[in-house]
A and B are shown apart, each in its own frame.
Chain A
Amino acid sequence: MRYETDVTVIGAGGAGMAAALSAHRNGADVILIEREEESGGVLNQCIHNGFGLHYYRKDLTGPEFKETLEEELATTNVKVLEGTFVLDVSKDKKITFVNSKGIHEVKTKALVMTTGARERHFNSLGIPGDRVSGIFTAGVAQKYINLQNLKPANSALIVGSGDIGLIMARRLHLEGIEVKGVVEILPYPGGLERNVQQCLRDYNIPLYLSHSVTRVEGKNRLDKVYVSQIDEAGRIVPNSERVFNVDALITSVGLIPSVKPVEFVRTGPGFITTNTNQTTADWIFAAGNCTVIFDLVDYVAREGEKAGKYAALYAKNEYVPEERITIKKGKNINIIHPSYIDPNESTKLYVRVSKVFQRAEITVEPLGIEIIEEEARPSEMIEIHIKSFKEKRIKEIEVSAHELG
């Protein structure tokens, strides 16, 4: 089958569904492609609440957030192709995909990549010991418990205190699996403060900051996990070793943006984009966790909505950017998104600082923007709004953070 369309969206998670909706609302014919049998991406298994407070002004669970988007999509003529896998995106705007009906090709005017992220795996941590069963990423454990009614362990230790790790600590505990602790190599937790409270402190689950897993042991199935304290220089503190007798190790050690199969645009590691979600190929837009890892699905959906809009305008030749201003990471900034600004459009700038501040002042120069952030931490994304501007002499913008004390 050959198709033609204005906008193709790859990946029907929070970003992709929002992108498809907004491209449709901006007058485009839209095809939305999803490789799973069901749209929604990770929202399907994130059964906890706390989603949608910004985007819908309601406290929703992941499945509720997804069904809300799905209900809106059902009122449109957006073609949703589930169980469909994209094989190739070519430079001449052809997308090849496969599903139960065979191999198809769609000629598109614009593309929105909303392919999300994958979990970093235990094997990338370089931890010595036996290669045994019982080591899961948090997302896999979450899928087993929340969607497949499987109990993956009797007792568990969690490594990495990212949000999924914290959420899974509570989930495992409430399902009767003994959670012996959460081990974090950094001196501060990786997830949101609210999750440290409602997932760990609420149930007296210990958090071992500045600790690292040094070895795993077992015959076929995991049996022992060795953990030691780490000093400021990253060395193991002598005689600080603890042994945890657990049959599962759950890893929550970061997400990696997924950019396949587009290989001819700039990435680092996610898609590099402008404030209008345009990548270095002007017909390809990107949003959500395939660009940078966001804290909230609310941000992801908002970015998707924006990408869908500009992709639709681009398809109609109504959006042609004239210039791009580079945004640079200054002092104490770890992550910045987007990387370029089209100054004719407004910008939501997402920033992560590189260390813990008591009181941080974050500056955007030469635009003269200064914001104060109490207890800024790398794990909590800071959002800065920049209005459109006409100042022609600005060639580069720099974002920095410093301690006010």
Chain B
Amino acid sequence: MNLVEYKKKKIICTNCPLGCKINLIYTDADEVEIIEAQGNTCKRGLEFAKQEITDPVRVVVTSVKVEDGEIPMTSVRSDKPVPLRLMEEIMDVIREIKVNAPVVKGDIIVENILNTGANIISTRTVNSRDSKSKEQKKLKENYDG
């Protein structure tokens, strides 16, 4: 008799837009162990599948308010995936944050958010309101001729 229960699950890998459908047979008696996996086209899919049945993780993508910027927001992301179960809490933290312009792509907005080891970083550049007009003027001059 088989003492360990074999479980089946179909997992959609969200690592990349291919979205491989991975059919898993696994056990989770003590530790999660993958017995069989079919459908992943790369190694990352297997790691993803294991993570997905243990504790799913996702990259956070949202935006943060910017004071005195050419636009009122900058977009941000986590520099590595964070546990999905913490997503709402992380959003609550990020929602309260304001930064001052200028913001440059890659700037750290929140360090080690909720002790996940992930930083929230800016994914775009937001110039301050004054420098934008100066810069535009300069650009426009270049376009003459």
Contacts and interface: CB of A to CB of B under 8 A. Distances in A.
B13 interface: yes
A63 B16 contact: no
Contacts of B75: 47, 61-63, 146
Interface string B100-130: 0000010000000000000000011100000
Given A146-B73, A149-B72, A149-B73, A197 B61 contact: no
B19 A61 contact: no
B59 A49 contact: yes
A295 B16 CA distance: 12
Contacts of B88: 174
Interface string A57-95: 001111110110000000000010110000000000000
Q: On chain A, which size bracket covers the interface?
A: 35 or more
B17 A67 contact: no
Interface size of B as a range: 35 or more
Interface in A192-251: 192-198, 202
Given A63-B75, A374-B39, A198 B124 contact: no
B71 A198 contact: no
A375 interface: yes
Contact of A1 (B65, B140, B145): B145
Contacts of B17: 50, 53, 192, 194, 295-296, 298
A145 B63 CA distance: 9
A53 B63 CA distance: 22
B16 A48 contact: no
B105 A64 contact: yes
Closest 4 A/B residue pairs (Cβ)? A194-B19, A63-B124, A47-B75, A197-B12
Given A49-B77, A63-B105, 19 more contacts: A44-B124, A47-B63, A47-B123, A59-B15, A61-B61, A63-B124, A64-B123, A64-B124, A67-B105, A67-B124, A81-B143, A146-B73, A147-B72, A149-B63, A174-B87, A193-B12, A194-B13, A194-B14, A196-B12
8 contacts: A53-B17, A82-B139, A101-B140, A149-B65, A192-B19, A194-B13, A194-B14, A198-B14
Interface of B: 12-19, 21, 39, 56, 58-59, 61-63, 65, 71-73, 75-77, 84, 87-88, 91, 105, 123-125, 139-140, 143-145
